[in-house]
Amino acid sequence: MAPTRDPVLTVWQAMNLLHNVDLQSETPEISKILVEAEKILFSLVTALVRRSRETGPILFEGRVISH
């Protein structure tokens, strides 16, 4: 997975990695934690996209990211 400077893509990649962990986990406790983490990450993606629509491109590490 190539690194990206786009915060939305970075969070999306994290969600995909969590999905891979869930596939390898057989304990209900881990699955519950992963579901909560995915909810939080999805909320973060939604907030980042909403913010970029309202205020313009997102500045990330000194670079402009546009959606």
Q: Widest CA span of the chain, in angstroms?
A: 42
Residue 2 in domain? no
Q: What's the pLDDT score for residue 64? A: 46
pLDDT digits (tens, 9 = 90+) for 19-66: 777 677 778 888 888 888 889 988 988 888 888 788 876 655 544 444
Residue 23 in domain? yes
**Residue at token pair 């939305």:** 8
Our count of domains for the chain comes to 1
Residue 54 in domain? yes
Summarize the confidence of residues 1-18 as an average pLDDT.
74
Q: What's the pLDDT score for residue 22? A: 66
Structure tokens at 47: 């907030």
Flag whether pLDDT at 67 surpasses 60: no
Q: What range defines the domain where residue 19 resides?
A: 7-65
How far is Cα 20 from Cα 18, in angstroms, rounded to an integer? Answer: 5
**Helix axis angle, 28-55 to 7-24, nearest 10°:** 170
